Amino acid sequence: MATNLLQSLKAQGQTLHVYNRTESKAQKLVDAGAIFESGGPVAMASKCNIIFSMTFDDQALEENISKILEGPPRQGLIYVECSTVFPETVKKVSTLSEANGIAYVACPVFGRPDAAKSKLLVGVLAGPSKHVEKVRPFVAAMTCRVLDVGVDPCLANVDKLVGNFMIAGMIELIAEAQTLGEVNGLERSKVMEVVDLIFGGSHIVKGYGDRMVHDNFAIKDGCGFTVRGGLKDTGHIQRLADESGAKVPINETVVQHLKSQMADGCADLDWGSLAMAVRKVISTLIDAVCTSNDKPILLFRTQLTKNRE
């Protein structure tokens, strides 16, 4: 995201200030012309008109806002949060921000880091209209599409959680479909041909499906979304459903499989690795009810053993 924003700002003769708790992660941006702010959010809030933030969780967002308010921040500052946080947290920090003269805009994004590099992110934008219009050109520089969902920043994060719920459910569905095919002698890649036919070639579906086909769950160069992160987001989805009286049984299943991955020491694998938990469940069921020596089942058991090793 920041790389695309930097290129856009440079073309307009403007400067990008950056901060990361791990300074080395911002080095490429600095080498390309960005200014590293060692003073963190407080320093940025005193110098910048707009701050784009991507925090890991709700606590980090609240800490950022608290630090900025102690600054004090520059007059007219607009704070744009791009991460997936719970709507109630957004309500809390946006109210606090506005009470202290900071405009809060929500713009969570759909897309993994590799999608960000290719400018394939989709932004979900919400907040007071006059502030949204000020940040829109910068959001457009980092995304391929922007969805407007209203003036209430909370709605952007509701939309993001609903979207992540569908992605999580899709991952679960493909994992179960591949496993069903595999125990009956059908290669995972052949299952994906049917998936591609049904879902119309979505790069999200294809990306996760191909990772499952090849067990390619290791995250390299930050290009992936971890099991730990997935459990955080699905936890938010479950809380949103519980507090609104909705039922999301698919999400409950996803949470169980992500927790299984955490317990197996796979917290830092891509969350598509929940397929490993699905296979483990199926293997346990097969062992409990079937003593068949059918070749497909034997091959499935052999492959599962290799994955565990």
Active site residues: 160
Q: Is 90 helix (H, G, I), strand (E, B) or coil?
A: helix
CA–CA gap between residue 163 and residue 234 (Å, rounded): 11
Residue 303 CB-density burial (10 A; 0-12 exposed, 13-18 middle, 19+ buried) = middle
CA–CA gap between residue 104 and residue 238 (Å, rounded): 25
CA–CA gap between residue 274 and residue 289 (Å, rounded): 23
CA–CA gap between residue 22 and residue 219 (Å, rounded): 18
* Secondary element (H or E) of residue 79: strand 78-81
Q: Which two tokens stand for residue 168?
A: 């999580």
Q: Which two tokens stand for residue 242?
A: 């519980």
192: Cα separation from own chain's centroid? 23
Degrees to nearest 5, angle at CA 55 with 79 and 267 = 165
